Structure formats: C-alpha cells, structure tokens
Amino acid sequence: MSDIKKKTEDEVRDSAKIILGFDDNENDVQQGTGQITTFKELGFNCKSNNRKPDGWYLPKDKSKVAIILETKSEKQDISLQKWVDELFVKIDVVSQKYKEVVGILYNGSDQRIFLNKEEIEKKPKVLQNKIFYLDLFTNKPIDTQQIYLTTMKINNLLHFKFGVNDYYDRMIFTACALVAKRYGAWLDKGRDYTTLHNSILNTLSKSLETAIKQNEKLKILLEMYSKVQMNITTNQKAIDDFIDCVETISDLINSKYWNGEDVMGIFFNEFNRYKGKSENGQVFTPGHVTSLMYRLAEVNMNDRVLDAACGSGAFLTKAMSNMINESGGIGTSKAKQIMSEQLYGIEIDKRVYSLACANMLIHKDGKTNLEQLDSTSQEAGEWIKLKNITKVLMNPPYERKYHPEIIIKNVLDNVTKGTIAAFLLPDKKLEKFSKKWVKSVLDEHRLLKVIKLPEKTFDEGVSVSIFIFECHKPQNNEEIFTCYIQDDGLERVKNQGRQDLKNKWQGIEDRWVEIIKKQAGDSSIKWIKPNEHLSYQKDEVPFGLSEEDFIQGMMKYLMYKEGIDQKELSEKLVDEIMYSSIVTMNDETKMVSINIQGDDEDE
C-alpha cells in the first residue's frame, strides 16, 4: 500500500486555479475557483439556489466559450459516471447563456474533458492553461459555404415571413442581431418578435456606450436599426428559425481561423437577390481581391490603414485580421492598439456606414475610427491629414456622379509622404479623367504599378485593375510597371457569386505577389510611359480574313448592289421555313427532312 499522500479536493482546486490561469485579472470575464460562489450569484437561474461550481470562466461576450471545472480529491476515481453526472448538471446551468461550454473533471492526477457533454478522447493527461480548452471549440476553419446557405435562409425568412422588402434593412437587422449575439443578448427561442427586437436594441445600446463617447456617429447604427421596416410577425417558427440562423453564423465566424472574410459582402451577394430595380446597390469588393491588395501594398502590423470609401468595411476587416495575426493574436496589447488606433474608414451613406460598424463589431471590433463623411469634402481631407496614414486600400465609387477623381486626389494629397495607396478602379478610369487632373496628380504623386485583374472579377461586367501610387513623390515621367492576372481560379455558384471552390486562389496569389515584387516572371509584364498610357495595354490581335468572312462580305456587297434589303430577306426566309414547309420524320432513322414548297409543284 502506497504511503504517498493523496491531495484533498481543496488542494486539487487550489492547484487547478493556478494551472488554468483562473486567478488572472482580465477585463470582461468572470473567473475563479472556490465553493462559496453560487450560480445564482454568477447570474444564472438555477433550481437549487445553493448549487456552486468548483471553477468557472465566464466571458461577458456570450458568444465565446465558457469553462466549468469540477474537482475531486486525488483518491477519487473520475471514471465513475456519478462524477460525470454531477459535472453535466453544472454544464446545463451554464448552457442557459453559453452555446459552447467546456466541462473539466479533474482529480489532480487525471482529467476528463467534455465539449457540451461530449467527451473528447484524445487529451493531455495533465491539466493545461485555459487557452488550450478555449481553443477546443475554435480550432475549425471558417465554413464560408455554410455562411452562404444560412444567409440564404435568413434572406428568405426576412423577405417572406417578416416582410422586410428593403435589402439594406435585411442586412442591417441581421448584422445587428449578430452584434447583439456577440455582446450577450438573450436570443432565446420561444420569445415573441417584440422581445427579440428589444433584446437586440438594448444590447446594442449598452455595448456601444463607451465607444459612442469617442465617436458620436456610432449612434447611426442604433438609428438605422430602429428604422428597419418590417411586419411584426406572430409566426413563432419563423422567429425561432431566424434565431437559429444567427447562432449558426455567429459560431462560424468565431473560429480562430477567421481570416478577415467580409461577412457583409456575403450578405450583400445573397440579400440583393430580391432587390427592386429602383434600388441602387453598391459593389462590394471580393475577399480574394482585398487579400491581394493588402499584400501588394505591403501592409504590416505597424501601419495606419485608410479606406475613404469603406462600404461594408471589407478592406478594414481584412487589414485588422492580418495585422492582429502578425501581432501575435487578439489577446495582445498590440492587437488592442491596432483596433483602437490603426484602422480608419470613411463612408458617406448612413446605412452602409452602419453596416461597416456592425461588420467590425461582429469580428474583432475597431469601429471607433469610422466616420460618416463625404470623402470629396475638405472636412474629410482634414480628417485624413490628422490620422498620419501610411497605407491606403480602397475601392472608390466608379460612377461620375460620385466624383471618384475628387475622392482619389483628396486621399493622395492628405496622407503622409511615402504612403502606398492602392485603388481598385475600372481599367481605363484614370485615362478618362481630365488631362488637368492627371497632370495635377502626377506632378505630386507617382503611379508605380497597374495590375489588371481577370475580366470576370465583378458580376457587373466592369473590368478592373489595381492602381498603386507612392504619395508625395512626383512621377517625373518614370515608366509604370503593368501586368495582367488573367485567371483567379474562382468559379460561379448560382446566387452566391464567384467562389474559390477548389482552393486555387492562395497559390495564384502567392505566385503573383512574387512576380510583382520582382517585376519579372510573366509574359504579360509591360512597362508603359505615363504620357502615353495609364492602363494595362493588351496585345493587339493580328488582323486575319477567313474564306467564310470573304464570302459573307461579298454576299453583303452583291445584295447592296442589287438593292436587296438584308433584314427583309432574312425575315422572308424565316417565314418560308417556319410556316411553308412540310416536316416529316422517319421513325426508324429518327431523321427530320424539311421541304420548302414554292408556287410551282415541281419546285
């Protein structure tokens, strides 16, 4: 019989507190160990008011993972079902508010781990820091396809069951529900619409209190939510289905593998299926293009990034994700600095501005430096000048009525010297601006590169290129590097836009980033003179004339000489074939013969 003293339950609990890190001082988290604090004191409804957890980790953000610890003395056998049942009762209590709960059964020498009461088999024998357990739920890559399918369901629910006809309203309502879910709203099934609506609004208001003190315009998100027009449905199944969908998307985008995917862009692709002809939508930048432009502009975690026509915030969420990853992760002090001081956006449209705010909130935040301004204005220029911007990533509006030339110049003139500014624009856009504009820009700033993207990048049919400037360094007639990425590997999915179904894009992106960096390695590369062109110049197709082209040309010439109207002749031939023919079919050979009957029987 062993003389080694076994740890008591109190000793096991005390050591677990240190190992798990439940003694850390963290904002926005309730954590600790002991047998004094009840679940009721922690904010839970519990049948037994005296029920107490041995250890707990409870984020204020209810969309995050919670941990419940059940300790036993070292002499206890934790393989016994009665100890598992005891843990499961406590998991059930915490599951009232948290969808993802890690349960740990620990006796000082061994542990069992449960994810929502489902035990994981492969586990370390010794207890780990809480980060290990938190990652158990978030170690699966983001499923963009599932977001598309769930968004489609939401779109149908809101359009047909809730009667939300405006697709921006559908986006805003869904986005606000996701934000509220992240910040702990009780989106429980079985509640009526009024309760659901108020829970979202109250959670939004509370979560934005501090941020609004820094940026009053964040109230626009609350204003736009309050203005959403819908029928107050009594269809409880529709309400419950909507809540299920919101929870599904919330779980997907909380993956630690989230890489800055623009959820609002996915919403846009789906929600505008029921868009009325009179509604003017925006063109949201595809995710693979934001990734490419981020790398071509050589953005790093110390940059201060601007998008002065930010739309839903695609460039800013991509920059935020990549910069935070480079800094070591969301929990670092640098990550907090990135979100609060290094991401800047301007959007003129109130509804789109509210979507950008929501997009940042849904992901990792960084919404306090978004401004609702006219990017053509002097006010916007002064705002930009104060931010010490070092990188620009933008997809400005293309239509003349929005004055993209003024927006571009306002940005270039007001960022700091040496800033790299990348703009996504129609191929020939710079050449369509006035010569005076071109001269004024190139006298102050240098166009370094033009990268033409595949013709099918946008569904709208516009061909686009990336234009990269170095600010406050004159062109001085320096030649411009250009190249043409002819294929991005994406494929069309019905009602879901173009997607990287076969995971080709990452390899294509890596190759082109290297080619553009070295300015060598592809036959499409050309150098152009700024006084001749400001766009990629495709090779001219050699002129050729086939025999068919020659005969067709001769026929047209002869008909012209004889005074024959080609259109009239074509219509007469069609009429003769369609209405004056006898069609016969031979059943054995399955052949069809067509005879044109003339006025004479012998014809």
Confidence of residue 478 (pLDDT cuts 50, 70, 90): very high
Please indicate, yes or no, whether residues 474 and 330 belong to a single structural domain of this protein: yes
Residue 189 lies in a domain: yes
Please indicate, yes or no, whether residues 100 and 191 belong to a single structural domain of this protein: no
Please indicate, yes or no, whether residues 417 and 506 belong to a single structural domain of this protein: yes
Q: Which CATH number belongs to the domain containing residue 510 in this structure?
A: 3.40.50.150
Reduced to 3 states (helix: H, G, I; strand: E, B; else coil), residue 596 is: strand
Note the pLDDT of residue 600.
44
Note the pLDDT of residue 273.
62
Which helix or strand (DSSP H or E) is residue 573 part of? Answer: helix 566-579
The C-alpha R_g of the chain, in whole angstroms, comes to 32
Residue 482 structure tokens:
């250009």
Please indicate, yes or no, whether residues 196 and 107 belong to a single structural domain of this protein: no
Residue 296 structure tokens:
């071509």
Residue 507 CB burial class (10 angstroms; 0-12, 13-18, ≥19):
exposed
Note the pLDDT of residue 278.
41
Please indicate, yes or no, whether residues 451 and 502 belong to a single structural domain of this protein: yes
What is the mean predicted confidence (pLDDT) over 265-276? Answer: 67
Residue 523 lies in a domain: yes
Rounded to two decimals, the pTM is 0.69
Residues β-bridged to residue 113 = 104
Residues of the chain with pLDDT > 90, as a percent, come to 51
- Cβ pair 576, 596 in contact under 8 A: yes
Note the pLDDT of residue 590.
47
- Cβ pair 420, 468 in contact under 8 A: yes
Higher pLDDT, 562 or 315: 315
Which of 135, 154, 180 lies at the terminal end of a domain, its last residue? 135
- Cβ pair 57, 67 in contact under 8 A: yes
Considering the chain, what is the average pLDDT of its residues?
Answer: 86
Which of 262, 282, 302 lies at the terminal end of a domain, its last residue? 282
What is the mean predicted confidence (pLDDT) over 441-454? Answer: 98
d(CA 37, CA 28): 18
Residue 361 lies in a domain: no
- Cβ pair 104, 69 in contact under 8 A: yes
- End-to-end CA, the chain: 117
Residue 459 structure tokens:
């569904």
Residues of the chain with pLDDT > 70, as a percent, come to 87
Please indicate, yes or no, whether residues 525 and 556 belong to a single structural domain of this protein: no
Residue 333 lies in a domain: yes
Please indicate, yes or no, whether residues 328 and 462 belong to a single structural domain of this protein: yes
Higher pLDDT, 465 or 26: 465
Q: Is the pLDDT of residue 541 over 70?
A: no
Residue 367 lies in a domain: no
Confidence of residue 601 (pLDDT cuts 50, 70, 90): very low
Q: Is the pLDDT of residue 24 over 60?
A: yes
**What are the Cα distances from residue 428, in Å, to 174, 192, 485?**
37, 53, 16
Note the pLDDT of residue 380.
97
Note the pLDDT of residue 336.
86
Note the pLDDT of residue 388.
97
Report how many domains make up the chain: 4
Give residue-wise pLDDT tens across range 47-85: 766 789 999 999 988 878 999 999 999 999 999 999 999
Give residue-wise pLDDT tens across range 221-233: 999 999 998 888 8
Confidence of residue 502 (pLDDT cuts 50, 70, 90): confident
Please indicate, yes or no, whether residues 320 and 434 belong to a single structural domain of this protein: yes
Please indicate, yes or no, whether residues 511 and 571 belong to a single structural domain of this protein: no
Please indicate, yes or no, whether residues 211 and 261 belong to a single structural domain of this protein: yes
Note the pLDDT of residue 566.
74
- Cβ pair 94, 81 in contact under 8 A: no
What is the mean predicted confidence (pLDDT) over 291-304? Answer: 96
Residue 64 lies in a domain: yes
Residue 36 lies in a domain: yes
Please indicate, yes or no, whether residues 216 and 117 belong to a single structural domain of this protein: no
d(CA 301, CA 320): 9
Q: Which CATH number belongs to the domain containing residue 38 in this structure?
A: 3.90.1570.30
What is the mean predicted confidence (pLDDT) over 445-473? Answer: 93
Which letter does DSSP use for residue 161 in this model?
A: I
Please indicate, yes or no, whether residues 404 and 515 belong to a single structural domain of this protein: yes
Residue 1 lies in a domain: no
Q: Is the alpha carbon torsion for 129, 134, 140, 142 positive or negative?
A: negative
Give residue-wise pLDDT tens across range 347-396: 999 999 998 888 888 876 777 799 999 999 999 999 999 999 999 999 99
Q: How far is CA 336 from the centre of its chain?
A: 21
d(CA 491, CA 443): 41
**What are the Cα distances from residue 493, in Å, to 146, 245, 489, 490, 499?**
13, 21, 13, 10, 7
Which of 542, 566, 581 lies at the terminal end of a domain, its last residue? 542
| Top-confidence range, 158-167, 190-199, 522-531, 580-589 | 522-531
Q: Taking Cα atoms as reference points, which of 138, 113, 106 lies closest to residue 18?
A: 106
Q: Taking Cα atoms as reference points, which of 350, 356, 346 lies closest to residue 376?
A: 346
> What phi and psi values does residue 458 have, to the nearest 5 degrees?
-115, 140
Domain boundaries, position 128: 9-135
Note the pLDDT of residue 76.
93
Note the pLDDT of residue 552.
79
Reduced to 3 states (helix: H, G, I; strand: E, B; else coil), residue 49 is: coil
